[in-house]
A and B are shown apart, each in its own frame.
Chain A
């Protein structure tokens, strides 16, 4: 079945460091791909998405490129801030049927001043 694999955390960085959180997926065809973010004490919210191969999603300085050759959707940010400290989830929606998203296990990011 469809699955998503994320790098384990926590990822600990200093402010202004470069961030990469790896995400790879297994699925039939070319699904859409999402990154969700969960700030402390809150629910999840959509950070960015890509709906087809080679698309680049971007938001709040974060970017992720849908690469079908490597079945990857890695999240990057050039210069992280303390306020980016959160848990990040890669997610894969099914191409058909009900909307049962498949989530990765989440990667906690801790940014220190």
Chain B
């Protein structure tokens, strides 16, 4: 079975702190994604990566950066956390091609910024 593992299920940070959210997948997927999920807004794409060291901005990249040094690992970085970044963060991965184009998701990381 495909497994996407997010490093922390729950985090509490203070405003201005640097936050790292890590995601590891075990299926050799080329593509990896970071979404945030907020009530009433659904899922919004922050960043995605289609290869090692490659990254593309999603719909809401402001205030975030990412790192992909190895194929299996995709990190989301909040350089200076703010209260409006309190949210559920979901990592996902997929193959680069194929008819189904299914995304496989991790269980999510719920971040609270005080």
Show the binding face of A for B, using Cβ within 8 Å. Answer: 32, 34, 41-46, 49, 51, 89, 93, 98-101, 103-106
Contacts and interface: CB of A to CB of B under 8 A. Distances in A.
B31 A99 contact: yes
A44 B100 CA distance: 16
Contacts of A41: 107
A103 B41 CA distance: 10
B42 A99 contact: no
Nearest to A101: B103
A89 B42 contact: yes
Interface residues of B, number: 24
A100 B108 contact: no
Given A98-B48, A100-B48, A106-B42, A34 B107 contact: no
Greatest chain A CB density within 10 A among B43, B99, B100, B108 is at: B43
A105 B41 CA distance: 6
Contacts, number: 51
Nearest to A41: B107
Contacts of B58: 100
30 contacts: A32-B100, A41-B107, A42-B108, A43-B4, A43-B92, A43-B108, A44-B43, A44-B90, A44-B92, A44-B103, A46-B102, A46-B103, A49-B100, A49-B102, A51-B99, A51-B100, A89-B42, A98-B48, A98-B50, A98-B56, A99-B94, A99-B96, A100-B48, A100-B58, A101-B101, A101-B103, A103-B42, A103-B43, A104-B42, A106-B43
